[in-house]
Every structure is written in C-alpha cells, then in structure tokens.
Amino acid sequence: MNEKVIVNDPPSAGPVVHEDLSLLHDVSLLTPGDSHIEMCIQCGTCGGSCPSGSAMNHTPRAIFAMLRAGMRDEVMKSNTPWMCVSCYYCTVRCPQDIHITDVMYTLKNMSLKSKMVQDSTASDFSRTFIHYVENYGRSFEIGLAGIHSVTHLRLAARLPSMAPMALGMLTKKGMSPLPPKHIKGMKDLKKILKRAKELEAS
Amino acid sequence: MSDYLFYPGCSMESSAKAYYHSVMSVCKALDVKLNEIEDWNCCGATEYLSLDVTPAYALIARNLALAEQQANGATTVVAPCSACYLNLSKADHYMHENKAFGEKINAALAAGGLHYDPGQLVVRHLLDVVINEVGLDKVKGKVVKPLGGLRVAPYVGCMLPRPDYNSRYSDSEHPYELDDLLKALGAEVIDFPLKTACCGGHMTQIGPATAFELIRRLISSADDYKADVIVALCPMCQMNLDAFQGQVNGYFHTNYKMPILFFTQLMGLAFGEKPENLGFGSEFVSAHEAMKRIGVQTPVPEEAKPARKKPAGLPMPPLRVRAGLKSATGNKEATE
Amino acid sequence: MSAQEKKPKERVGVYICHCGTNIAGVVNVAEVSKWAGENLVNQGVVVSRDYKFMCSSLGQELIQKDIKEQKLTRVVVAACSPHLHEKTFRNACKGAGLNPYLCELVSIREQDSWVHTDKVAATEKAKAIVAGGVSRVVYHEPLIPLKVPIHPATLVVGGGITGIQAALEIADAGFPVYLVEREPSIGGHMAQFDKTFPTLDCSACILTPKMVDVGNHANITMLTYSEVQKVEGYVGNFAVTIKKRARYVKTADCTGCGICWEKCPKKVIDDHFEAGLGYRKAVYTPFPQAVPKYPVIDDINCTYFQKGTCKACEKFCPTNAIDFTQKDEIITVEVGNIILATGWDLFDARRVTNYGYGRLANVFTNMEFERMSNSAGPTGGNIVLRDGKTTPRSVGIVHCVGSRDKNYNNYCSAICCMQSLKFAHLVHEKTGATVYNFYIDIRTPAKAYDEFYQRIIEEGTLFVRGKVAEVTDAARNPGEEGKLIIQVEDTLVGKQRRIPLDMVILSAGLEPRADSKALAKIFGISCSVDGWFIERHPKLDPVATMTEGVYIAGCAQGPKDIPASVAQGAAAAARILGKIQQKEIALEPVRATIHEEHCSGCRICNTMCPFNAILFHEDKMVSEVNPALCQGCGTCVTACPAGAITGTGFSNEQILSQIDGLLLLTLDKKKEAVA
Amino acid sequence: MSKPKFAMYWAASCGGCEIAVLNIHEKILDVDAAFDVVFWPVAMDAKYKDVEAMQDGEITLCLFNGGMRNNENEHIAKLLRKKSKIMVSFGSCACEGCIPGLANFSSIKDVVDTAFTTITTDNPDNLRPQTSYTMPEGIITIPTLNPMLKTLDQVVDVDYYMPGCPPESHQIAAVVDLVIAALNGKAELPPKGATIGAGNSTVCDECPRKRHEKSIKAFGRIQLIHADPDLCLLEQGIPCNGPATRSGCNSRCPVAGAQCIGCYGPAEGVVDYGARLIAAFASVIDSDKPEEIDRILDGLVDPAGQFYRFNLAGSLLRSSKSAQKG
Amino acid sequence: MTDIPETKPFEPVIIGFTCNWCSYRAADMAGIARMKYAPNVRLIRLMCSGRLDPTFVFKAIAGGADAVLVSGCHPGDCHYSTQNYKAMRRFHLMKRVLTQMGVEPGRLKLLWASAAEGQIFANEINKFVEEVRALGPLNWNKAGIEIPIEAAVEEVKA
C-alpha cells in the first residue's frame, strides 16, 4: 500500500545546483528553543521511527542532509514536513537531541512562505482549521471535516464517502452542526494574532 | 484536594462529550475541583504551528495568561486532551527556555492587554493528576464495581509521554501509568506493544490512506492480544480509532469491532456511576457487547439514520467558506 | 603595615628568553630586559639580560655565571610556561649553588607572545609579567623537597586482564604485589568471552595460563572476594584497608574438588558470570578454571544461612573445608604505589525501551550472547532462542546500544563494532542463519581489524546502515507474525525497512563501574562527567593520574579492547617499577603550616582538607598540618581567619607583591594620566 | 627631677576611650603619680598653644584616640607626634577608623547630606555649614572634612597600636604598668610598630564555648536564634567575628552571649580584616550549589557592615590610600 | 610608555587568578594552539582556586586593576577533589561585599576551564574584557552603596 500514498516523485539524481549554505542556519533560527539541527549524524533513527515515513518523499534524515547541502527548493517542495503526524518518536529517540518535530513545523512555515508547497491538502486543512480559530476562537470539527472534504473532492473521492461518519457525528456524538460561538475576548484575540503576525514578519 | 485550572479544549464540547461528562463525574467522585478557565480559546492543535510560529504560540499563551489571571492560588492547569496538554506545556517550556522568544510572545499578548510569566503555571494532563496527585490508593478506595474480566488495551498515544518536557511519565515509549490505573480498577490489562504509537492525528483529513494504516495497526494489535476495548485518554485518538474504524475496515477489508473508550468512562463505571451519565452510547463502535461481558448495561448507540437534509448541506455557505479560506491564506487581511 | 612594602635587599637577576622568534617575534625582548634593568632596581634587580634560547645549555650557563659573579640571591626567567621548563631553570640555579626554589619562571610565551598580535601591548604585558615575577621572587624562601621512602609493594585493584598483566609485570620484576578482586575469582570480563577478535582465538585459552601464573606467583598476594575500603597516606607510603568477605570455605583445607557444589541443592540464576543466562549453586566457583579454585558460599542464597538447615556441602566435603562461622575480615596493607584496573559495567539495555530487551524474549545482550556462544556456557555453545532449543534462522545485530546517544552515553564504546562483526561470524559459522548488522558507522581502526570486517562481508553478512528505530513483536505485514521486527531507515536507500528476525542481539556499550565516583574518592583521583577515571595527560601521560602514586589502566580509564588494556596494564607497571628502583621520592615542598601561637583553635580549617592532613589537638586547642599528607593546595591558608596558616611557595607576601608588580606599570600610567 | 609628661587626645571618636582610661580605678593614681598630665582636653583645660610651646619629644607618652575626620584632627595629630616620644594609636578609631570610618562607604557629600537633610534633622532651609564665614570682626572658620576618614597611621608615624572599642581597662592598666616599669629601666618596651595591650591570637583563643568542625547551613541574626549558651556561636549560624578578631578582651561578648563584632581588629600580620572573615565564613558554608549558597548568604544581612564595622578606614578597598590609588 | 590619548578606547587592566592544574593549563593550551585573545589580562598562578584569598582580589582592585578574573577546574574535577567548591562559596560572598563597596559585580568573573578548554578560556577572556571596557575605569569616589536597612527591619519584625 505504500506506493499508493507516495504523493511526490522521488528526488532526481541530478547534481545539486546553486547550494544555499544559509539554509541550515535559517531553519535553526526560526525554530523556538535550540533545535540542535546542525548536530545530525545521519543515523536514520528519525526515518526509521516515523509512522508516516512511507508517505514521505524524503525521510527526515534525508531532509537534514539536504538542508546541509543547501538544497532549498527541494526541501521547500518536499511533502515530508506535511506528512509529519507530530508523534515525537523521532524527537525522543534522536541520539543527538534534535527537536525534529519542531523543525518539521519550521519547515512547514518556511515552505508556505516560500510558496513552493506542492500539495496544498495539508496546508489548506490547517488553514481551514485556523480560519475557525481566528474567527471564533474555537475550532469546529464538523465544519472542518465538511469543508475540507468538499474542497478536496479528489481526496474524498478516493475514499469511501465520509458522509455517514459526519452524520454519525451529529447523531451519535450529538455534536452541533452550527459553528461555535465566538469567545468573549474575540476582539482582543484578533489583536493578539495581528500583532503576532507582525512580529513574525519582522 | 486542591483546586485546578481546567482547560477542556474544543473537542470536549463537541466530539468528545462522553469524555467531558465522564471527566466531570470522576473528578467529582475524587473531589478534584476543576475551575474552567474563563473564556479560553482553541490551542491551535498542530495546525497553527504548521502555519505561523509566533501567532501559534501567542494563541496558546493567551490561555496561560488567562489562567494566570484567574489562578487565585491554583498553580496547575489540567488538560484532558493530549494535544492541548502538549501545546500548553510546550508554550510554557519554550517561553521559559528562550527569554527572547518569551518576550516576543508576550509582546503579542500585550496587544490584547495580557501577559504570561513563563514557569508560573504547571501544565498537567488529567491522568498525571489522578496518578500523582490523587493517588491510586484513593482511586482503589472509590472502586465499588471492579472491572474484573474486562481485557483492556491501554492506549496512551504520542503527545502525553513525548516529548514530556518535565519528565512526568515513567517512559516515553512504554509508560506504565495508565496500566496501573486500569489495574487499580480491576481490569485485565494487556501488554500493548503499540501503547504509544500514533493514531494518525490529522492524517485522517489529509492522508487518509496513511492514517488508516496507523489505525489498523493499533486495532489489529489490540485484537491480536484479545483486548475487549482500547482505552484512550485523548479525544483525537479516541475519535480516529472509533469514528474511522468503519472506514478502516472498508479500506482493508477487515471487520474489527473494537470499542474505544476514555479511561474516565471506565473509572466512572468502576466508581458505580450510571453508564448514561458517562457518555456511553455515543461511541461509533458500540461498547455494549464488551460491557455486557462484565455485566454492565450500556446504552446501545442508535444507528445513524439518513437525515432529511443532505449531509452536503453542512452549515457555512460556500462563498463565506471561500472568503474565509482566502482570508486565512493571505496573512494581512486575515485579522482585518 | 603589610610586609611587601619593606625594602628588599635581595640581588635579583632577570633573564628574558627570545625562544627564537616565538617570543622575540612579538615581544620586544631587548626593550623588556632594558626596562627591567632600569626600572626594577628598587625591587632589587641588579642584572637583566635577554638571550636567544635561555633553556639551551649556553643560556643556563649565562645564568649560573651571573649567580656566581654577581652574587645573585634570586633569579627570574621570563620564557615559556613553568609546566615546560620550571625544573630546567631550577636545576640550573641548583647547579650554581642557589636553592632551586629561589628561581621564578614566568611565562611570556604561552601567556603572551603566542596569544597576542599587538606588539606594543604584548611588550607592555611582558614588562608587567616580569615585574610581577621580580616582586614575587624577593619573597621566595629556600625550600628543601621532602624526601620520602617508597614502599616496594604495589596494590593492583581489579583482577581482569589489565590487572593480571600489571601484577605479573611487577611481580616478575621481583617486587611484591597485592591483587584485589571483588569476585570470587580473577579473570574479569575476558573470562566470560568466547572468542576474541580479530584473531578469533579462544578467550579462555589465552587468559587461563596468565591466571594460573598469578595464582602461583610467589610475589603476588591474591585477595579475591575482597574490596578496598580506605586509602590513607601518600605516594610511597599508602596504608590500604581491605575487606575480605567471608568465603565460608577454609582455603587451607579445600582442594577445589567440587563435591560441595554438586551436592548443593540450591540453584540460583547466575546473573553475573553467566550474564543471567545460566544457573549456579549457592556454593560455587564462577567457572571451572577459576583462580583461586576455592568456592565461596553466597550467604544471601544459601539455604542454611536463610533457613538454618541444610549444610549439605559440609556433610559431603571430604576435607571438612566448609566453615559457616567465618566472618568478614578487615586487613591493612602497606604499599608504595597503586594501580586501578577496575574495568567496566555493561550498559543496561532495558533502558532503551524501544529495543524491547526484557520485554521481548528473543532480544539478547552481547554478554548473554558471549555466554551462549561459549562452549563452557549454559547452552554448550549452541546459538538458540530463549526457549533453549530453536536455532534462529535470521539474526539481527544492533550496534551502538546506549552508546553515541545523548539519551544514554555520549561516547563511542570502541569495541562494539568489532564485537558485532565477531558475533556475525560466530552466528554464521554455528547456525548458517542470515545475519544482519545494523550500524551507524563501522569503526575498525586497529591492526588487522578492517581486514576482519572485509572477511565478515565476504561471509555474506548483510549490512544495513541505520540506527535501529525499534524492535517490536507487533506484526504489521504478512510474514511478520511471530517474529521480531526490526524497524530501521536504510539510510543508504533512504527508505524505511521492516526486517522480520528470529533473534536480535544488542551490542550494549561499556559504562564506568557504577561505583567509580565513590572509588575515585577513596583513591583521591578525579572522574570525567561520565565516570571514567581521568589520566594526568590524555596523550603524554595516559596511565598516571594527578595524584602521585596512583595509576589507572584498562577500561577504568575509558572503553578499550583487550590489546589496549594489556598495553596499559604493562605501561602502569613499568612506571611504578621505575619509581620503586629509585627507592625514595621527593615531594614538592609546597606545604601549609600552622603557627601554633597564632592559632585560636576556631576549627574553621578543619573541614577544609580533603586529604585529612589537618588534625585538631583537643588538649592544646590548636590545629596542626601533617606535612606528609598536605598536598599544598592552600585552601586552608585562605580559610584561616587569624592568618595563622602560611603556605610555602605561595605565601601571601609572594602573591600580594606579585600583584603589586603586575600593576606597577598601570600605576605609573595612571599617575602620568593624572599629571 | 620632673615627672615624665602624659598627653591624651580625642579626634573623631566618642569619648569611650577616655572613660576606659578612667575606668582603671586606683591605677589612675599611679598614672598621676608617675606622670605629669600636660594635655588631656577631656579631663583638664589645656590650650593648643601650650602644646605648640613645648619642646619636640617633650611629652613621654601620648595616647591618641579617634580617627582623622577633618584637618583639625590631622593638625593636632601632627603636632602631638612632634612633641611626643611614644605615640600610641589608642583604640579602634585611631587604629582602624571604627564606627566613624563607616562613612567611607559613601562620598563625603552624601555624608553631609545625610547629616543635614534626613528626618532626624530640623533644617527647613536645607542649610549647610560653611567652613569659613566673614563677620564684622573678621573671618571665622571651622575645620574642613576629609573626603575619607583616615586612621592615625595614615597621617603620622605611630609607635604602638592599642586596639579595642574601647581598649579593655585591665589592658590599659597593664600597659601603664609596662611603660612606668620601662621608664624606671625595669622593663623593655616592645619593638616599634607593635600592637600592645592585646593578645597575639584571636578571640576564640579566650572563648570558653565548645567548638567542632564547622559546616553552616544557614546564617541568622542573633535575635532570631535561640542560641545554645555553651556552643560556638558561629556553629549555630550566628555571624561571630571572633575567629578573625585579635584576642585581648577575654572574649567579653561571646561570654555574655552576644557575637563578637570585631572591635579589637585584625590578628597579627593580617592585611585586610574583612577578607579574612569573608574567606572563613564562606569556607564553612555547607553547600556546593550556587543557588543554595546564595540562599544561605542571604542570611548575612549587610555583609560589608558585618565584616568592616570597625576596620573600614583600615581596609584595602575603602581606606583613603586605595581611594587615592584608584 | 606614555599615557593613552583620549581617542584610543579604554584599555582595562585585569588581574586573572588561575589554578595550576586546569585553568592555567587551559591558558597554556590557548597559547600552544596560538589562539588570539585580548592582552588586558595578567595571570597569577595559584596551586588551586581554593587558595584564592579575597585579600588578593581586594589588593588587585585597590592597586588599580579594573577587574579580576577567578578561574579553576570545573566543579567535580578539582585536582584537590573539592577545593574549587570552597572557591565558589567565597566568590559568592566576595561579590556581595564588593558590590556594597561600590565595585560593580561585572568587574568580578568566575570561570571554570578544564585543561583542554583553551578555546573557552580565550573566548571568555575576550568577552570579559569587552564587558569591563563597557563598564569603564573603576571610579572609586563615585562608589556609593545601599545597606539594606529595610531588609534588616523586616527580619526583626518577623
């Protein structure tokens, strides 16, 4: 089944052109805390531990090697960070104490800003999710599942329909089909997020 | 027993109502006093971190700031959801570890007239509180209906024992806290090899094939060990294993019927609470059979009938959706 | 009021070394020596010279000539670090009849010319350093080194191959050795091994002869089943207190016939010698070739000691050698030098929970495998699964378990690669099973090691480059049921692999002895953060320690293989033999002394000395320093609130006036600045 | 033949030294019998001009107490030095500055401001004394303050030091006896620069309290601790300066149940009194963890005050010498 | 040597105390490896940081040094087993007293350096020199101090 889910093509065997040696530095700079990313010894514990590794077009280890090699575009285009399920196996097992999961978040951020994301499924899902949070202060699973499968039909189509499940959500779990109520501090929350985004940009 | 600041998290008021009710009932029984943080907001799960670091942490930190404001004496924030727990402690951890970062986040909070002093609050998962604050002895003392004969697979998942910034758990891969608790309830606990494996997280939404495989591994492994139920302690885990089990069966042509319950539901039962008040019956894969085996009558979940309205007609007119999506993409307008 | 203001009447000679261009290239040596000659007259300088190589015989003669002709009473040499040539110049002065301790060597190379580029600043600093030396040397006192006799006996702690080698070297040279071993027999880890890499000769075959030699050697006193409790004294004259645990066997009468352990009804899992894979009796010798051959009764497990009945061994012993009344014995031995060869502990593989050792039956450790593969071991040398009969058809060997991993031990355990290759060979040879080696890097940097690697590749062992992520029994894909699955990224392919196996062997790393820090305290040496003993110099003095008379060898100093351990054992022995030949040793006369009339007996200094050199006389209510025990650190000198303790070589006057000297220029500068 | 002449003067001091001298009871009569008291402002009327009129070295024994706070102090110090054979730096103020010396913690301006503006002073127009003022009769002046208080030996050459705040009467008596005996050729005076009227060890030497090896987990002020009357105060966490303070007082304070505050100054050959106490106290702190060490040290309120209460003007860092150097 | 023209930056003079076994060897190591660092520090070799007498530090400062560096073996690695801990305790108290005396805490630095850590030694010296340069010359008469009367009062109340 692995083949089924490989989203991108495997990397080309061509030589690395225009190396970008600032890449590694950028990544560790954008990661909160000390990621120790420069310490990687390429042992592959991360790649071996990754539950969704089979769905990645590069293993995390390969990504770190590419960061060193300054292969910015390849990394930005990779689906690896987007396949990360944040299980933190790699993080706790890494013999060099590299905060791999956090680095994956950083890479997602970077690739979005670089506009090089290949498959927007994951990023759009995140956006939809955050759309609710940014406007209501709470997330909204039903709406989320709904819109997401609507906006990504090709995906939904590939699977048995999600409808019965969504329905179950309503009936069994007694979830409300209405979007969540705004939290009281919504105005302030928006201010906070606005300021945060400015800080992020600066 | 001292007071705790309670951060329920979004799922507790939608998909995980069963968890919510059972938590309330159990904490009442153990006189753990939970004061819900006034006007808390979503922790952003793993999604916001994927988009923007600073806003993501600001979003999380707002809850900590509110909690600190409303603390009056309490120092511990309790989250029943692993993802929420990790996000809250993560934010506290990094704001503490990296001063500059902490100041940056506080600068953002300041825009909303808020501030959080990293390290002021302790963030803990409910399980941790039950084991290490309440203590198993007290729990044992409350058990009136031991769960003898029920084979349970203790499923801890990822974000509780990993990365475990404050090393609260016995191990990051095979912690025994949940086992001990369930044993204390009289249940028969299997040595579940995938105890801390991944439930697929949000992959059900973006790489279902991957997610389904992860779910299959868990359920089949529990099944190999002849478990009657899998016990979860995170709404996301429970939802993935329960709600998607049908599709997993479809996808792999299997026929698992593995009920997924919250540990608090079983605690409630053992404490003699009525199944109805513990959210039984709201699970997709009915726990009815499994519970009958130990002489507990749980309501049979009603089968989903095709509703009048087409499920496609979910709330939210397409336009607004697109607008919403669009605005969510371009950073600037988003907050306009 | 303070002493350093009094006018010195000493005649000081100052000698500035060019060290070729090493110093002269950056420091204007001519200017410095001129300056010293003109500006340090008040400090007593009567002659100041510079010369190409002060340490050369010509340079030394220059100094000696001045001492004689100029009647110098003090000498200051400004050259390299005292750690390099202090002795040289002290001896030069001695040669000219000046007490060596009236010479001060100040460093204007390591501390100046080599680390600065600004020539003016460097020259100014050199002047300051010289001025410091001059002001200091005036307060030097003539000192005589303490000569102490060296006791000819040596204590060797640890009866592994390292300790055995060291003991034999010294004993063969004709000097007495006490060999202390914690276990009932000497032999150490090497006795447990099956084959030894890269030659694959049998461990026992090469070890047992040496063990027998030790047992029979007239100059070696073996103290097995014993532990060092206390070490007092100092180089040349240590008094070592040793606890001999009760064997409950009269060694005088015992013939080692073995009837007692045949008859003993109590079977115990032998988690020491058999690494938990086999059994022994409550009365036992660890292994057939044990030296000494006498068994011990392990009173924790012995039925008689626990329940008060049995005594089977006693009944059947043909020579009535069993004696249940024996008690632990405390003895004290006098030695001149000590060798610590205490070896290593095995990393507890259970800590790596994702490798399942302890949870998954067919995951074994390297020590378990050594025993399994050893024909004298519990399985008679058959490679089988935990069920004791099934031969594995596929075996995975995992490198770096607990090593090179910040979660456990940061260092490389040095032997695992070769050991794992050896295992691969043995498994292949004995079972023909498919063998995988899972490695991060293959490290084979020694004679004939890489050739061994080549050979193993040739034998068909499969190599997967990747640190194993987990060993699990959770079958996922067809073909995995009932097997152990190793999940790993094959980093050379860049893909995750799941490899079903019957048996997994973990090459657990080497760790310092659990009690190494306590041990270091007993012997007054220091441990690295990990717990390995620290040598005096990592390259140039690998077996000595900072504590005179205490040497380290083998794995106690850090992970190493048998050849390296043996070499170190011999090296330590050689160092000590050299010392013993000299019969006596001179101790640096840098010592603290308490002036009784000023001492008020406040006892603040009493807790200052880690060498227990300070004793308090209740009767006179004063404290006193034992000069032989004192190591001269000066901590008590500083602690004394009454200023009643002085430290020779580093007295208050010396330091305070050196400060004056160092700041001389600054003050001039500031005065000028004011003017 | 005329009796040897005796003089005593107080500079920046409290007068306690004089009282201590009178406190030698009948011995004072010996003084009177042996000496002709020529100058003693506290005890008798005398004019500076009378002293100025004397021959150099005419005064045999001068007990000079008090520190050099102003130019008048220095003037008299120099004058008496010139006129005296034996100049004794008498009492803590003269020897090491004592309490007035604590002013050296602050700049002289702060000192004056404190004196003339704090709540204890009623000074609505915030006036300051002027050192000279023109009146119809002419200019009148008052002494000007030194920027830093100096010890006597920082201004003039001193023959002997006699520590204590004040020196113990029995020690004074002993010294008087000694000098008299010496004058009659019955005894030898100690070498110049020696400390007289004191022991050559420290207070612990005379302290009867039981003592052991020390390790201190907490310091506390004496009023907060129920001290064991027989046990060394320092061992009980009470910062007692005894270990570093010159003996000679029969350890009066520790015997009375109070910690030694160090009025007898440093022991023989000690360069900086406070440094000794810093080293000694810190050495016996029972902790190797920086945070804990700091916590323990928090128990020492105002360490500088504790260690330099009497010695500041004689210390390395706050004596006028170092101020000039820096 | 003429005194420094105003244009030149202030060159602090720093007295450094090292122990014979670790930090002095670290300095040697820095030399052997030809690492470059600021020439402002003048070293005094003691046998052990435990020998460091506060008197030495005070003397250096009184004698015109602008700052003092105290260095020794890493905690736990002392050649005399535990003496550097005593140095640490004294350092903490010394720092408090110096602060009261009007010497900025920044003028006193404690540095643990093993014999192998020449690079660290060099870097730390450069850092320290810059910090002291920023503090400027040690000006005695500016020195005013706060004796924490309040604290005392508090305590008595308690």
Alpha-carbon span B268 to B298, nearest angstrom: 12
In the block, tokens 């005296």 appear at D84
Per-residue pLDDT tens for E6-42? 557 889 999 999 999 889 989 998 998 899 999 999 9
C-alpha D261/C-alpha B237 separation (Å) is: 69
What distance in Å separates the CA atoms of residue E91 and residue E105, rounded to the nearest whole number?
11
Q: Is C473 in CB contact (< 8 Å) with chain B?
A: yes
d(CA C149, CA C152) in angstroms, rounded, equals 9
B298 band by pLDDT with thresholds 50, 70 and 90: confident
Residue C671 — very low, low, confident or very high, per pLDDT cuts 50/70/90?
Answer: low
Q: Give the pLDDT score at B312.
A: 38
Q: Tokens representing D206?
A: 């005379």
Contact C335, C240 (CB under 8 A): yes
Write out the two tokens for B148.
């003898």
Q: How far apart are CA C23 and CA A174, in angstroms?
A: 86
Quote the pLDDT of residue B299: 84
- Burial category of B120 from C-beta neighbours within 10 Å (exposed 0-12, middle 13-18, buried 19 and up): middle
Q: Which of C353, C359, C474 sits opposite B194 (nearest CB)?
A: C474
Residue from D192, D180, D227 nearest D32 by CA:
D180
Distance CA D212, CA C621 (A): 11
CA-to-CA distance for C131 and D273, rounded, in angstroms? 27
Q: According to the model, what pLDDT value does residue A152 have?
A: 56
Q: Decide if B165 touches A, using CB distance below 8 A.
A: no
Average pLDDT on B77-97 reads: 95
On the question of pLDDT at A2 being above 80, the answer is: no
Question: Which residue among E54, E144, E147 sits closest to D305, beta carbon to beta carbon?
Answer: E147
Residues, chain E, total?
158
**Residue A34 or residue C25, greater confidence:** C25
Residues in chain A: 202
D242 touches chain C (CB under 8 A): yes
Rounded distance between C-alpha atoms, residue B84 and residue B159, angstroms: 9
Distance of CA B213 to the CA centre of its chain: 21
B224 chain-C contacts, CB cut-off 8 A:
474-475
Average pLDDT over residues C26-51: 95
CB half-sphere exposure, B285, CA atoms < 13 A: 24
Measured between CA atoms, how close is C438 to chain A, in angstroms? Answer: 10
Question: Measured between beta carbons, which residues in chain D are less than 8 angstroms from residue C600?
Answer: 201-205, 243, 247
Looking only at Cα atoms, what is the longest distance across chain D? 72
Angle among Cα D43, D48, D54 to the nearest 5 degrees reads: 100
pLDDT at A121 over 60: yes
Q: What confidence tens digit (pLDDT) does each residue in C133-183 have? A: 999 999 999 999 888 899 999 999 999 999 999 999 999 999 999 999 999
| B59 neighbors B43 (Cβ within 8 angstroms) | yes
Nearest-CA distance C6 → chain D (Å): 13
Average pLDDT over residues B20-49: 94
Dist. CA A78–CA A61, nearest whole Å:
13
Give C364-377 pLDDT, tens digit per residue.
999 999 999 999 99
Indicate the pairing of strand D36-39 with strand C645-647: unpaired
Closest CA–CA distance from residue C320 to any residue of chain D (Å): 52
Q: Which pLDDT belongs to residue E153?
A: 39
From C653's Cα to the closest Cα of chain D, the distance in A is 10
* Residue C377: both structure tokens together: 């071991």
Give the mean model confidence (pLDDT) for residues C526-531: 80
Q: Which residues neighbour B72 within 8 Å (Cβ) at sequence distance 6 or greater?
A: none
> Which tokens go with C577?
């033999």
Q: How close D69 gets to chain C, by Cα (Å)? A: 21
Residue C62 has pLDDT above 80, yes or no: yes
Judged by average pLDDT, the poorest of B160-164, B191-195, C608-612, E65-69 is: C608-612
Q: What is the per-residue pLDDT for A4?
A: 40
Which pLDDT score, from 0 to 100, does residue A148 have? Answer: 61
pLDDT score of C667? 64
Q: Check residue C670 and give its pLDDT.
A: 59
* Alpha-carbon distances, residue A12 vs A8, A42, D198 (angstroms): 11, 20, 93
Instruction: Collect all residues with Cβ–Cβ distance below 8 Å to E110 and sequence separation of at least 6.
Output: E70, E71, E88, E91
pLDDT at B95: 94
| Per-chain mean pLDDT for chain B | 87
Cβ density class B58-77: b for 16+ within 10 Å, e for less? bbbbbbbbbbbeebeebebb
Q: Which chain C residue has the Cα nearest residue B215?
A: C476
Name the token pair of B187: 């249940």
Split chain D (326 residues) into runs of 10 and give each run's mean pLDDT: 88 94 89 92 90 94 95 95 96 96 89 87 86 89 91 95 95 91 91 94 95 93 91 96 96 95 95 96 94 94 95 90 43
E66 within 8 A of E13, measured Cβ to Cβ: yes
| Contact criterion met (CB below 8 Å) for C622 and C614 | no
Touching E (3+ Cβ pairs <8 A), the chains are C, D
What does the pLDDT look like over A125-157, one tens digit per residue? 888 888 889 988 888 776 666 566 555 544 444
Shortest alpha-carbon distance between residue C660 and chain E (Å): 7
Q: How many CB atoms lie within 10 A of CB D141?
A: 11
Does position A12 have pLDDT exceeding 80, yes or no?
no
Identify the band that residue C8 occupies on the pLDDT scale cut at 50, 70 and 90.
low
- What is the tens place of the pLDDT at every residue in B183-192? 999 999 999 9
Neighbouring-strand partners of residue C396: C436, C504
What's the whole-number mean pLDDT along residues B55-67?
96
Under the banding of pLDDT at 50, 70 and 90, the label for residue C573 is: very high
What pLDDT score does E157 carry? 44
Rg of chain B (C-alpha set): 20
Find out whether C231 and C522 touch, Cβ atoms under 8 Å.
yes
| Pairs across B and C, CB distance < 8 A | 17
Residue of C578 and B327 predicted with greater confidence? C578
Q: What is the mean pLDDT of residues C96-118?
A: 96
> Cα(first)–Cα(last) distance of chain A, in Å?
44
End-to-end Cα spacing for chain C: 28
Cα B247–chain centre separation: 22
Going by C-alpha positions, the residue among C313, C295, C294 that lies closest to residue C304 is: C313
Sheet containing strand C45-51, strands side by side = C45-51, C12-17, C74-79, C103-107
Per the CB < 8 A criterion, the answer to whether C351 and C408 are in contact is yes
Over residues C449-473, the mean pLDDT reads 96
| Model confidence band, residue A201 (pLDDT cutoffs 50, 70, 90) | confident
- What is the mean pLDDT of the segment spanning B229-237? 95
CB E74 within 8 A of CB E121: no
Instruction: Give the C-alpha separation, A155 to A136, whole Å.
Output: 27
Nearest CA in chain A to C399: A43
3-class state of residue B118 by DSSP: coil
CA separation for the pair C465, C492 (Å, rounded)? 6
C-beta of residue D4 within 8 angstroms of C-beta of residue D150? no
Q: Note whether D106 and D100 are within 8 A (CB).
A: no
What's the one-letter identity of residue D17? C
Chains D and A touch (3+ CB pairs under 8 A): no
Residue B125 identity (one-letter amino acid): H
- Residue C146 sits at φ, ψ, to 5 deg, of -80, 120
In this predicted structure, what is the pLDDT of residue A167?
64
What's the rounded Cα separation, in Å, for the pair B6 and B85? Answer: 11
- Residues in chain E closer than 8 A to C632 (CB atoms): 47
**pLDDT computed for residue A144 by the predictor:** 64
Which residues 154-173 of A have a C-beta within 8 angstroms of B? Answer: 155, 158-160, 162-173
Do C604 and D242 lie within an 8 Å CB cutoff? no
∠ at Cα D318 (D316, D319), nearest 5°?
70
- The C-alpha angle C412, C417, C419, rounded to 5 degrees, equals 115
What are E131-146's pLDDT values in tens digits? 999 998 886 544 333 3
Q: What is the mean pLDDT of residues C325-337?
A: 97
Of C379, C485, C359, C476, give the one whose Cα is nearest residue C431.
C379
- Flag whether pLDDT at B159 surpasses 60: yes
Touching chains, D (3+ CB pairs < 8 A):
C, E
What's the mean pLDDT in B137-153? 95
DSSP-derived secondary structure for B98-113: -HHHHHHHHHHHHTTT
B270-279 burial string, b = 16+ CB within 10 Å, else e? bbebebeebb
H or E segment to which residue A72 belongs: helix A72-77
| Per-residue pLDDT at E154 exceeds 60 | no
**CA–CA separation, B312 and D133 (whole Å):** 102
Interface touch E47/C650, C-beta < 8 Å: yes
pLDDT band at B315 (very low <50, low <70, confident <90, very high): very low
* Interface present between B and C (3 or more CB pairs within 8 Å): yes
The answer, yes or no, to whether residue B326 has pLDDT greater than 80, is: no
Q: How far apart are CA D173 and CA C557, in angstroms?
A: 68
Residue C222, pLDDT above cutoff 70: yes
Q: How far apart are CA A202 and CA B331, in angstroms?
A: 13
Is residue B235 within 8 A of residue B265, CB to CB? The reply is no
Per DSSP, helices labelled H in B98-163 are 99-110, 126-129, 136-142
CB E99 within 8 A of CB E10: no
C586 pairs with which residues across the strands?
C147
CB atoms within 10 A of CB E157: 6
Q: Do chains B and E touch (3 or more CB pairs under 8 A)?
A: no
In the beta sheet, which residues pair with residue C154? Answer: C177, C337
Quote the pLDDT of residue C534: 86
Residue B169 · residue B177 · CB < 8 Å: yes
C609-655 pLDDT, tens per residue?
988 889 999 999 999 998 878 889 999 999 999 999 999 999 999 99
CB contact under 8 A, D202 and C667: no
Q: Which residues lie across from C230 on neighbouring strands?
A: C241
Option in A44, A95, A96 nearest C489 (CB)? A44
Structure tokens belonging to residue B54: 């600073």
Partners of B79 in the beta sheet? B125
Using an 8 Å Cβ cutoff, are B231 and B155 in contact? yes
Mean pLDDT of chain E: 84
Q: Which two tokens stand for residue A178?
A: 């209405």
CA atoms within 13 A of residue D288's CA, in its CB half-sphere: 10
